[in-house]
Structures are given as structure tokens and as C-alpha cells.
Structure 1
Amino acid sequence: MATRLFRRYACVLYRASSHAPAPPAASLPPSVTRPAEVQRARGWLWATNRFLCEGSTDKNEDHFPAIPTPTEVDELVEKAAAPEEILEAWVAHGHNGNQAANYLVRWTLLVLKTNGKFTGQTQKLIMDSRLQNMMDTIVNQVPSVWNGNLVSALRALWIMRVPPNVRVLRIVQVEVLWRVRRLTYKQLGLLADWGSGRKGERNVAIVRAAIKQMELRWTEIADTKTVTALMSKGHHLSPTLMDRLEDKALELAEGFSSEDIRKVCVSLAFQSRRCVPLLRALSYHLLQKPSSEFTTALIVDMAYAYGKLSFHHSQVFQRMASELLPRVPELVPADVTRCAKSLGLLKWLHIPLFEAFAEHYIVNSEGYKTIQLCNLLMTFARLGFQPSRGDAFFSKIHSVLEDSLSGLEPHLKTDVVWSLCALQQSRPHYLILLTQPSHVAKLSDGKQAKTEKYQLKLLHIAATLCLEHSGSTHATTSPPLPVPTSSSNLSPLQSSLKEALLSFVGQRTEFLRTGVDTVYGWTLDGELVLDCDNKPIDMSMLKAPHLPSGRGGQNLPMGAHRLAFVAWEFPNFCSNSKDLLGRFAMMKRHLQLAGFIVVEVPYYEWLEIKTDRQKLSYLKDKMGKAVAEDMAK
């Protein structure tokens, strides 16, 4: 407070002394006038025309140098259409480092535009004396080059493939490293993007320094464009920075355009980053966009992103399907198969849309590549989708596969034939080809999990040959395949079902089998044999053709029924539906053809039952209905 009063007093004193008439110099001795002059000088140093609590009253006061307005030469450079024009403008008008950096960037872009890239011939252009003079000017005046021009000049040198030992490149790299803390966030992002993957100690140091600064200064981001640009290049960034960018994207999600949402989601999919809160927010804001912004590219890419990340959002799927359905006839085969495959991964079946996909193939089958046809077929099999014009659809498929099936890669060939089995479109000669020892051996090379997966598919293919083509002369000649052992880890539904079945048979294990691995490649959650009075009987001495060992030698008693209990979990169904996926529909069909009465226990019914008594009553009711339906057939 005292200091403020003193400053005000000094200001008043200064003003009063400046307006008062000066006394004659002769009236005062020199010894007196000197101290007065010194006192006045001190007052002038302390004087101010405003209070400290007030803002600046001088509107013309400039704290930073103004950016020069573009000159005619700058406009001429921007409008240049050939690299030679840039060099001529430099010779005529260039004189400082900023201009040299700007002209170098412009010259590089024009060379790329005219030649496509810097090849062996274009490397000779770098030896031009005018260009060398431009680079020398940058070297000599590099401290005065603005940050933006310096970063762009470094990129131009990278594009020109200037060797690491060239002086201009070394000087610019060192200067960028010195200034990295003063660069804007956008310039740091450009450095990290442009420099990623480049070899050389200095280049690696620049990228690391830029990423480190972005990690420290991520709160500076205030616009969606920067977030989108950085996340779209996320494979160059560190996981920590990506976490920060996801938080910032969640904060700014409301301002994202449809194109921003597409870029961010595709970037997350490429990096397998399943950030559920961000995906939910982007999905919500995507639903608010008008139909004009739901372009075909956006729908296909969003379907891919959701499928890759296994993220379900029924409202978005429904909106995308309704927007895409009228445009299906205009799509190219690549978009059809890509979109269908993505929706298949999500287990989401929109029947009108998939009918349109099937019709698109019927009309444009000549434009489909074999791999695209295979992807479409495998998607239909995964969802268990049967087109309404199945005859026309599958006739075209068989006409292609007859010639191309033998040339497919062994794993893809197995997937295609298995898909035909799931869709009940298999032909015996397809199946026989895949059950031969030579083909089985080709599937044994690779990881154990993948090998077991394809061995299981071969069992399903062999079961199709045996059960659905039993009249074929080759149905019984296929070599036996190993039966994999199912996992001992039971789900809560399977454990609960097992306990209920044990209670039904009075804990007598000879009346019940659980976790039954069959020669058909399917695992039963439970197996019972009921006599004509629907009472369980001992199975230990009965024939069991579905088991690898065959077990006993006695035939099934007259009037007895063999029951297979199958627990259908949530993943066994299409999304938001009670329709089984193609794999499990084929399982049910095979078990019925093998002589079983299939008792289905879906999760949505079992979870509603609370007590053990109700579960037992439920099983008895299901068994009675299944036996009655079988007898009615």
C-alpha cells in the first residue's frame, strides 16, 4: 500500500513540476540546481500515467512484432506452377532465411506434383546452384527462421531424401531440437507424424522429443481438428499420449463432425483400442447427424470399426442399415463384402439388408473376386442366413467354386466348405476332398489353437458327409479324424444344468453322461436314455456310435429315446435375437440326424428359474415336449 501511495505521489509531483514555470538559473546556485535535476530525473523514472490496477491505455502499444503482410513476390510464389518459377523468384527477390525456407517448401511440393516423387533423376535437381544458395541462406540465418517455416523446411529435406551428412539437414535438425519446447502443439504433431519411421539418430531424437512434449502439454488441445489429426496417426504415438487424446476426444465429442467421428473410430480400430466411453459418446453424436452426412464411406468404415472392436450399438446399426439399404445396388463388391463381414463379426443380422447383399451378388457376380465371394459366403454361414432367392444365389456360387476351390489356400478352403455345410449347400466331392490325409496334414502347421480349431471344422465336415450324405458311396470311406477334448471349464449355465440333471437321475451317474465329446465334433452338455415310460435307464452297456470308443454292445431298447441336452448361451445367438447362429443350427441338425432328441436349454429361459425344484420341473416339461414332438414326426 505504501509503495502504491508513493508512486501516486511521484506521479503528481512530476506533473506539477512539469507545468510550473522554471525559476531563473541565476537565482539559484549551481549546488542547488543539480540536486533538483537529479530529483526530477528520479521522479521521471518512477512516473506513470496510469494506476497499476488499470489496463494499458495505449492501443497502439505492440508487445510482439507484427507478421509482415504478404507481398507481390509471396503471392507470385504461391501461384507458381513449376519448380523453375520458384528458383527464378528466389534469384530475383530472395534475401532472407524465412523466404528461403518458404521457397524450399514450395519448390519441393511442385516437384512432387510434377514428378510424383523424388527419384534418381529428380535427385539431380537438388544440385542446382540456385537451390544450393537457398539452402545456404537457411544455414546462415537459421536462428531467424520462424518455427512453422523451420518445421516445414525439415519435412521438405526429408522428402528430398537429403543424406544425413549434408550440412543444411544437420543444422535444421539441431535447431528443431533446440526449439522443440517452443513449438505449437500442431507443429509437434506434424513432427511426430512426418518423422515416424525415419532412420537416423537425430530423426529419432526429434520424434521422441516431440512426443514427450505432446504428453506433457496435452491439455493445450482445444479443437477437434487437432484431436482427430493426432488420433488418426495414433500408431506413431505412445500409449500414454493416446490415453490422453482419448480423454480429450471424450471432452470435445460434441463438436465432432461425422468425418471426425469416422476418422477417430477407424483409428481406434486399427490400434485395437476399445475405449467404450468414447465409442458410446461418438455413437450418440453420430445418431444426431442428418442423413446427408451418412455417406457410404462413413457407413462402411463405421461398420468396420464396430466389428473390429466388437462394440455393439443397435440404434447406430439400425440407422446405418436404413441409410445404406437404398444404395446397395450402387455399391461395388468390395464395399458389400466389407460391410457384410463387419456386421457378421457383430452377429447382427438385418434381413432386408442381407437380402439386398445377396441380390447384389446375383446381379453382379461377374464383378466379384473369389476372395470376396468367400467372405460373403462365410458371413452368411456365420449368421445362418438363407437368402430368399437361395437357388439363384448358390447356383452362381457353385459355378465359381467348381473351378476355383482346389486352388484356394488350405485354411480358406476349409472355411468355405464348412460354410457350405452350415448353409446345407455342401456337395459330397467337396467334403471328400477335405477329409483326405493330405489336406489334414496341411492344416497341422501352425499354432496349436489354430490347428485344433480347424481339426474341429474337419470333424463337422466329416459329420456332414456321414449324416447328410449317407447315401453317397464315399460317405463311409473317409478316414477317421481325432476327436478333441472339450474344456473342463463350465459356464454357470452348464454347471447349473448338470446339477439339475444329476438331481433328475437321483445322483446315479450310470444313468447320465455330461460333457460328452462326440465323433461329430460337437459336445453335449448332457445325455440320457429314456425308456418307453420316460424313465432314465442305465447307458453303460448300450451302443454309443456317437462316442469314439463305441462303449457297450447292446442295442437301444424298443421304444427308448436318446436325449441330448444342449445349453444355449448368449453368444450362441444372433445379436438381439433368439435365432441361433449358423454353427449351432448345424449342431442341432447333426444331432437330430444322429438319432438324438435335442433338448434345448436357452439362457433366457433358464435364468428366470430361481429354485432347484422349478429347474427340475422345467427339465421334465422340456423332455416331455421334445419326446412328444419326435413321436409326432
Structure 2
Amino acid sequence: LIQGASSPQELLQVSRGPALSSNLAALAIARLARLTSEQRLDTESIRRDPRFQQLLDTVDAQISQVWNTPLVQLLRSLPALGLAQGGRQVRSVEQEVLWRLRRLPLRQLAHLAEYLAGHGRDGPLLPEVLRKLELRWTELDGTRTVVTLMAKVGHLSPTLMERLEDKALELAEQFDPEEIRRVALALALQQRRSVPLLRALSYHLLQKPAELPLPVLTDLLFAYSKLSFQQPQVLHRLSLELQPHVGALSPAQVSRCARSFASLRWLSRPLAEAIAQYSLDNTQNLSLTQLCGILVSFAHLNFQPSSSEEFFSMIHEQLEGQEQQLDVHLLTDVMWSLCVLQQARPPNLRQVLSPDFHARLRGDTSPRAQSSWLKLLHINATARLETPGYQGPFLPPEALSRDGDRHRDKDKATPLQRGLWEALPGALGGHDLARYDVSTVYGWDIDAEVVLDSDNKPLPVRDFAAPHLSHSEGTKPLPPGAKRVAVLRWEFPQFSSRGRELLGRGALAQRHLRAAGFLLVEVSQE
């Protein structure tokens, strides 16, 4: 009768039956809650019905005789029917569940944890459920339970999440693509960079022969980006399978994909071309912020679309008169990106180099502001070195000094950097023949600076005027035929993940230093 009931009236009639037990009453209430939810019925009229009150009283009087499954269902059903969380009936059921936790099967514990976590229930029950799961995690055997707990409960207990990661590593081979997606997303949202688990997920994902569903592609890309986890074969597959579907993505998804690939330093030219074309085809649907996100991503990867003229004309058109919508940091990022891609126009430069604009960044010591200020130095260098005919404004001379940055970073020298500092004095014939760890007014750091005469012999670098420094030690002009050489060190993170191509930042540094008159000696790790 209870399972076959199709209306609340049929279920409420159960209360009149002579064989009514607390277990049957609990089952009837659970079925009643399901029907009201499915049929969108008014719960207030049900709560006022004396027959419903009879069901509640029967459960309350003999609650210890209710079986485990109906009891757990009852815990979910009473609030669904509108009974107060702190009411007597709900508290009575919670207390009974609390007493029985040790005897509950693990699957019911998992369902209980999922429900309590999803409904923000306060009180002692949820912490106790989590503690029991922490102790009994070895009993977990199904992929669905493990994945659900990681996604919905793991953030509440780091200890449990650690156990779940171990179990997921054990079960990784059995995960289907959707479960791999949910596990990776759970790790990303909780900022848990479990490298062994991510490697296992990547390996088993690559064994799946079928084409991956679009939500799996986009969410995995987001997760790998969020965790800064680079797996070339997976990224290649994601970019390859995403490309045909770019047109079906929403503007927010396209912008997010572009930013994710940029943060992973992964440039797939066919996919980037598809994103550029999407931007041209859907300009009116993309918000200014989304369009800026795509532009900044292209600049980070140093990517020039094949439809470069059309693409950047559209960018300038969308930016014109709308710059006030962007905060100071995003506007700086956008103008810096245009400089990287050699698309900055004098009005763009004037806007961010004006005293009113850069005054908003001066004195702010937050990491974001410091990053924006450094980009402003690069923009200023673009105006001076790469924009013929630009008359100003420029940043004032006192704003170009970065001595504090240099001293702070000396303690963070990489092995390659220290190796250069040790090798160069011997190669040159003396420590004083080079200037080390040089911070230029262009916003770029040079690992070593050397002046060579016309016979390629080193000269004392500190004797000569240095227009690239905020405070020059020497005053002599360079002798005829002399050359100023900059030794630049490139570490792995400054290259694209796919090869030996410098990212946008490195490419801009190369252009600026060459334009400033330096010959470049570039050293990288093999």
C-alpha cells in the first residue's frame, strides 16, 4: 500500500490501520515527502492533518524499533515536509541516528554524510558521521561512493579527503570519464594537488578510446589549470577534442578555456585559431571582461591569430570608450598584452601612462599591484623603444627604480642563475668586468651585463654611462665599435610547455633589450 500509493490521502490512511507500527509509519512519512516533492504539493495542509500527526506520534513513541533504512530516510523527509530543524520530532530522529551510527552500513553512512553536508546541518551528527567515515574508509569499495564523498563531503574533513584520495588511487582504473571529471574537479575546488592521483587519472583517461564528452573536456581543463598540473598527452587530447566543439561553447566557457591553456603554458595553434574566430563571430555575445581574458591569454602564449588584423581591429573597437569599465589591474593587463602582441596604439599608451592612472598604483604594496606596476614599466618601455612618434606622457624617472626588488630577489636565485654568477668572472677574467643582477628602467632584469670593445675584449662596465639604469655609476660614452651585451637566463616556466618557444613575457623582453642597444646572450636549461 505504501509503495504503491499515488496520493497523500492514500498514505495518510495508513495511520488508521490496526497494524500500524513505527517502521510502517516511518516508511509512510518518507513516501509522503517524496510525493509532495514530485507533485509540488502544499506541505502545510499535510502537517495540519491529524492523520499525519498520528504517524509522527507512532514513530516518536517507538523510534528504537524503526529499521535503519527508514530511519535515515526519515531524517531527510521531516525537513522536506516543513518540520523545523530544531523541532522535537527532528531532534528525536537525529538522536536515534547518532546512537546507531556504529551499526549503520557504510553505504548509509555515505548517503547520510552527503545529505547533511548538502543541507548545511549544524549539530553533533555531521562531525560524528565524518569521524565514522574516517575510521571505516577501508570498507569503501564502489567508485560511485568514493567519487560522491570526494565531491560533496571531502572539503569538510581533510583527514577523510586524504583517505578518499588513497582509495581513489586504488580504484582509478575503474573510473569512467565522468567519474574522472568529478574527482579532478573535487581536487581542484579544494586545492588538493595530489600528484600520484592526478597521474593515475591522467593515465587511465588516456586509455579511454571513445571521444570524451564536452563537460569532461572543459572541467578537466579547468581542474588541471587550477592545480597547475601539466600532463602533455592529456593536454594534447583535450585541445584536439575541444577544437571541433568551440562553436558550441558559451562565451564564458571559451574565455575560461583560453585562460586555462594560458596558465598551463600550452599553445595549440588550431585551438587558439578557433578561439580567435569564435571571438570574431560572437563579438556581441562576449562581455568586455571575457574578451579581455582571451586577449591576455593570447599575449601570455605569444600567439598571433592568422586573422590578426581583423581580430585586433575588433579588440580596439570593443575597447574604445569602454576602458572605464575595467579595473586598474585588468586595464593594465590588457594594455600590456597589446604591447606583447605589438598592437598597442598611442591612445592606449597615453591612457595608462598618464599621471592620473599610475597614481592609482603608486604606494600599493599588494602582490597584484606590484605585478601591475612592473607591467606598467614594460608599457613605458614599449612607448620609448617601439613606438616612433609617441610624444608622451611617460612614467617619471623616479618611478623607474626597482632597487628594492633586486635586493629582495637575490635570496631566491635559481641553480642556473648561481651557476652563471660563478662561471662568468672566470670567463671574463675578473669580477669587475661585468655587472650582475641588473634591474633596468625597462622593467626587465639582466643576469649579467658586459661591455666589449671592437676586438670583443671586456671593458670595465661601471666606467661607462648606462641609460638603462635609473642611477648610472659611470659617465663615459661607449668607445667606437664597442658593444653592450646582456646575458639573459631562461628557466623552464618561461617557455611554452610544448617546446622551446618563449612565452609572451620573454619575447617582449627580447625585443625591448635589443631595441635598447643590447646584444643578447641567452642561456637556458637543457
Quickly name the TM-score band, shorter chain normalised.
over 0.9
**Paired residue for 2:223?**
305
| 1:127 matches 2:67 | no
Determine if contact 1:456/1:521 at 8 Å carries over to the other structure: yes
CA distance in 2, matches of 1:439, 1:153: 61
User: Could you state the TM-score of these two structures normalised by the residue count of structure 2?
Assistant: 0.93
SS at match of 1:366: coil
Q: Deviations over 1:506-538 (max 9, x none)?
A: 1141x2101000111110001111111111112
Determine if contact 2:3/2:31 at 8 Å carries over to the other structure: no
Determine if contact 2:154/2:160 at 8 Å carries over to the other structure: no
**Paired residue for 1:464?**
382
Of the three residues 359, 367, 389, the one matched with 2:285 is: 367
**Paired residue for 2:249?**
331
1:316-395 correspondence to structure 2 within 5 Å: 316-395=234-313
User: One-letter code of the match for 1:171?
Assistant: S
CA distance in 1, matches of 2:224, 2:381: 34
Post-superposition offset of 1:588: 0.7
**Paired residue for 1:617?**
none
1:434-445 correspondence to structure 2 within 5 Å: 434-443=352-361
CA distance in 2, matches of 1:314, 1:477: 41
SS at match of 1:266: helix
**Paired residue for 2:2?**
74
Determine if contact 2:417/2:447 at 8 Å carries over to the other structure: yes
Determine if contact 1:329/1:360 at 8 Å carries over to the other structure: yes
| 1:140 matches 2:61 | yes
**Paired residue for 1:43?**
none
**Structure 2 CA distance for partners of 1:549 and 1:171, relative to 1, 3 Å:** same
User: One-letter code of the match for 2:20?
Assistant: H
**Paired residue for 1:215?**
134
User: One-letter code of the match for 2:223?
Assistant: A
CA distance in 2, matches of 1:387, 1:110: 56
Determine if contact 2:181/2:219 at 8 Å carries over to the other structure: yes
SS at match of 1:291: coil
Q: Deviations over 1:541-584 (max 9, x none)?
A: 32211101133332222211111110111111000310001111
**Paired residue for 2:147?**
228
CA distance in 2, matches of 1:505, 1:555: 21
| 1:182 matches 2:94 | no
**Structure 2 CA distance for partners of 1:388 and 1:186, relative to 1, 3 Å:** same
CA distance in 2, matches of 1:237, 1:407: 38
CA distance in 2, matches of 1:410, 1:325: 33
**Paired residue for 2:422?**
499
1:477-626 correspondence to structure 2 within 5 Å: 480-484=398-402, 485-486=405-406, 487-488=409-410, 489-509=412-432, 511-604=433-526
Which residues of structure 1 form unaligned runs of 5+?
Answer: 1-72, 605-633
CA distance in 1, matches of 2:415, 2:45: 72
User: One-letter code of the match for 2:518?
Assistant: F
Determine if contact 2:323/2:331 at 8 Å carries over to the other structure: yes
Q: Deviations over 1:53-73 (max 9, x none)?
A: xxxxxxxxxxxxxxxxxxxx1
CA distance in 2, matches of 1:145, 1:462: 75
**Paired residue for 1:57?**
none
| Of 327-336 and 569-578, the range deviating more from structure 2 | 327-336
Higher relative contact order at CA 8 Å, sep ≥6: structure 1 or structure 2?
2
User: One-letter code of the match for 2:523?
Assistant: V
**Structure 2 CA distance for partners of 1:165 and 1:577, relative to 1, 3 Å:** closer
**Paired residue for 1:40?**
none
**Structure 2 CA distance for partners of 1:140 and 1:475, relative to 1, 3 Å:** same
CA distance in 2, matches of 1:505, 1:235: 58
| 1:109 matches 2:34 | yes
Determine if contact 1:198/1:204 at 8 Å carries over to the other structure: no
**Paired residue for 1:28?**
none
Determine if contact 2:106/2:140 at 8 Å carries over to the other structure: yes
Determine if contact 2:488/2:522 at 8 Å carries over to the other structure: yes
Of the three residues 99, 110, 116, the one matched with 2:24 is: 99
Post-superposition offset of 1:227: 0.7
Post-superposition offset of 1:411: 1.6
| 1:264 matches 2:183 | yes
Q: Deviations over 1:599-627 (max 9, x none)?
A: 111222xxxxxxxxxxxxxxxxxxxxxxx
Identity of aligned residues (%): 44
CA distance in 1, matches of 2:253, 2:367: 31
CA distance in 2, matches of 1:445, 1:309: 32
**Structure 2 CA distance for partners of 1:258 and 1:112, relative to 1, 3 Å:** same
SS at match of 2:485: strand
Determine if contact 1:459/1:519 at 8 Å carries over to the other structure: yes
Of the three residues 92, 95, 110, the one matched with 1:171 is: 92
Post-superposition offset of 1:161: 5.2
**Structure 2 CA distance for partners of 1:338 and 1:543, relative to 1, 3 Å:** same
Determine if contact 1:98/1:149 at 8 Å carries over to the other structure: yes
Post-superposition offset of 1:187: 1.7
Post-superposition offset of 1:102: 2.6
Which residues of structure 2 form unaligned runs of 5+?
Answer: none
| Of 303-312 and 228-237, the range deviating more from structure 2 | 228-237
CA distance in 2, matches of 1:470, 1:553: 27
CA-atom RMSD, angstroms? Answer: 2.4
**Structure 2 CA distance for partners of 1:106 and 1:481, relative to 1, 3 Å:** farther
| 1:315 matches 2:233 | yes
Post-superposition offset of 1:496: 1.5
**Structure 2 CA distance for partners of 1:165 and 1:380, relative to 1, 3 Å:** closer
SS at match of 2:523: strand
CA distance in 2, matches of 1:468, 1:89: 85
SS at match of 1:204: coil
Q: Deviations over 1:226-248 (max 9, x none)?
A: 11111111444311111111111
CA distance in 2, matches of 1:383, 1:495: 28
**Structure 2 CA distance for partners of 1:97 and 1:447, relative to 1, 3 Å:** farther
1:79-90 correspondence to structure 2 within 5 Å: 80=6, 83=8, 86-87=11-12
SS at match of 2:180: helix
Q: Which has the larger radius of gyration?
A: 1
CA distance in 1, matches of 2:482, 2:210: 61
User: One-letter code of the match for 2:235?
Assistant: F
